[in-house]
């Protein structure tokens, strides 16, 4: 979503709901959280909305859950009902049954505007879904999303007027729920536009002072060493940090998928390659645990640069998903326009036997690998078993 689009949507939502508030009796009995506590009440209303949004996934009537727990606008209820329905359908169509939903909400910032009549709340919601297959096997999948919520004071309550967030699974959820194609395409385009430009590393014109993988430095012993890829280690790292971030690495809000994929590959002992920021594949911590002065190659943090460097050197392309498994990678072109937008690491299978991925931006833990919509294109990267140095 562009800043101009968001500003327009916000203005429309605020004006519409403010008009509704002015026209309604102050004592109207509506669900929500009492507004008398100002920003604290707005934050509580935002939290209730996000918890209701998660609970709707497992409900027979998602709209009723949203309407009963939070006084959200009807358009927002309709949109999130389709997302909840599509989420549940994706699981059920694979022979899985949803058995539990948990949502942890962290309110990061609350700001009151217009004399305390509107509020903007920034929150992070981690949702975990527990599924059971027909054979009795269970699995958990998760997501971590940043939400920018707009709330309008309505009598004694706060109403959620808008919820701006990006989830690369939204298009898949809407498609599963039978949403109009235009809405599915719009969701895919939002995913495509969501990532801001990735900043270039410092010291971009120089070689790294230290390559973090000692195996990448060619030994002077007169014989060849072999570095083997550890798929289990790559998967373990991915599962550990899928819904969180390793504080010893730089973080790229809105565009962290390639950085996370590189971290996973490095945890699996993929061979690094020193060079300038435009060449090689490397990350230099400069001997510290703080990422504030770290440097790195573009191929470490950028999807297309990563694909270009890894191809033939670290990975081999496979024609279908059947050719890749744990520790391998899937690349995504959301709208099929030839520009590769996203990367995720395969980490195993779910209770239905479907291959699942971990990823950042948006953060996902063990979700079915097929993100996007019918227009999405995929590339499957099989990591080479070993590399020779010497």
- Residue 390 and residue 287: Cα distance in Å, rounded? 25
- Two tokens at 168? 């690369």
Helix or strand or coil: residue 312?
A: coil
Residue 23 is predicted with a pLDDT of 36
What's the confidence (pLDDT) of residue 67? 87
Give the pLDDT score at 203. 42
Per the omega criterion (within 30 degrees of 0), is the bond before 362 cis?
yes
What's the token pair of residue 158? 């706060």
Choose between 233 and 287: higher pLDDT.
233
Residues 6+ apart with CB under 8 A from 165: 145, 146, 147, 148
pLDDT 10s digits, 77-106: 999 999 999 999 999 999 999 999 999 999
Secondary-structure class of domain 3-165 per CATH: alpha beta
CB count in 10 Å sphere of residue 269: 18
If 0-12 CB within 10 Å is exposed, 13-18 middle and 19+ buried, where does residue 230 land?
middle
Task: Give residue-wise pLDDT tens across range 114-144.
Answer: 788 999 999 999 999 999 999 999 999 999 9
Q: How many helices (H) and strands (E) does the chain have?
A: 10, 14
pLDDT in tens, 155-186: 888 989 999 999 999 999 999 999 888 888 88
pTM: 0.83
- Average pLDDT taken over every residue of the chain: 84
CB 150 within 8 A of CB 19: no
Beta-strand ranges (E) seen in the chain are 96-113, 118-133, 138-154, 157-164, 225-228, 283-284, 295-296, 315-318, 329-333, 342-349, 355-359, 363-368, 377-383, 386-389
**Domain boundaries defined on the chain:** 3-165, 214-389
Question: Over the stretch 297-326, which tens digit does the pLDDT of each residue have?
Answer: 999 999 999 999 999 999 999 999 999 999
Compute the Cα dihedral for 80, 81, 83, 87 and give only its sign.
Answer: positive
What percentage of the chain carries pLDDT values higher than 70? 81
């Amino acid at each position: 979503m562009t800043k101009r689009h968001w500003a327009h949507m916000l203005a429309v939502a605020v004006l519409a709901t403010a008009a509704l508030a002015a026209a309604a009796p102050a004592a109207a009995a509506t669900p929500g959280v009492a507004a008398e506590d100002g920003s604290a009440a707005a934050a509580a209303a935002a939290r209730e909305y996000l918890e209701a949004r998660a609970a709707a996934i497992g409900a027979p009537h998602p709209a009723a859950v949203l309407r009963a727990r939070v006084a959200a606008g009807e358009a927002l209820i309709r949109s999130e009902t389709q997302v909840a329905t599509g989420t549940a359908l994706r699981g059920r169509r694979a022979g899985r049954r949803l058995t539990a939903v948990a949502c942890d909400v962290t309110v990061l910032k609350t700001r009151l505007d217009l004399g305390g009549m509107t509020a903007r709340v920034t929150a992070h919601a981690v949702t975990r879904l527990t599924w059971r297959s027909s054979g009795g096997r269970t699995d958990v999948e998760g997501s971590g999303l940043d939400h920018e919520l707009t709330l309008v004071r309505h009598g004694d309550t706060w109403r959620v007027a808008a919820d701006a967030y990006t989830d690369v699974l939204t298009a898949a959820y809407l498609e599963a729920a039978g949403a109009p194609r235009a809405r599915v395409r719009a969701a895919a385009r939002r995913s495509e536009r969501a990532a801001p430009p990735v900043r270039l590393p410092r010291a971009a014109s120089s070689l790294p002072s230290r390559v973090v993988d000692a195996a990448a430095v060619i030994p002077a012993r007169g014989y060849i060493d072999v570095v083997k890829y550890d798929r289990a280690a790559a998967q373990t790292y991915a599962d550990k940090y899928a819904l969180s971030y390793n504080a010893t690495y730089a973080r790229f809000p809105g565009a962290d998928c390639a950085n996370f994929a590189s971290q996973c590959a490095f945890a699996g002992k993929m061979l690094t390659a020193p060079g300038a920021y435009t060449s090689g594949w490397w990350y230099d911590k400069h001997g510290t645990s703080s990422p504030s002065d770290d440097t790195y190659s573009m191929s470490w943090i950028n999807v297309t640069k990563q694909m270009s460097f890894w191809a033939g050197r670290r990975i081999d392309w496979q024609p279908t998903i059947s050719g890749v498994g744990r520790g391998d990678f899937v690349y995504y072109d959301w709208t099929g326009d030839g520009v590769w937008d996203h990367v995720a690491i395969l980490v195993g299978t779910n209770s239905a036997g479907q291959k699942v991925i971990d990823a950042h931006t948006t953060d996902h833990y063990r979700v079915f690998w097929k993100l996007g919509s019918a227009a999405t294109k995929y590339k499957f990267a099989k990591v080479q078993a070993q590399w020779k140095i010497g």
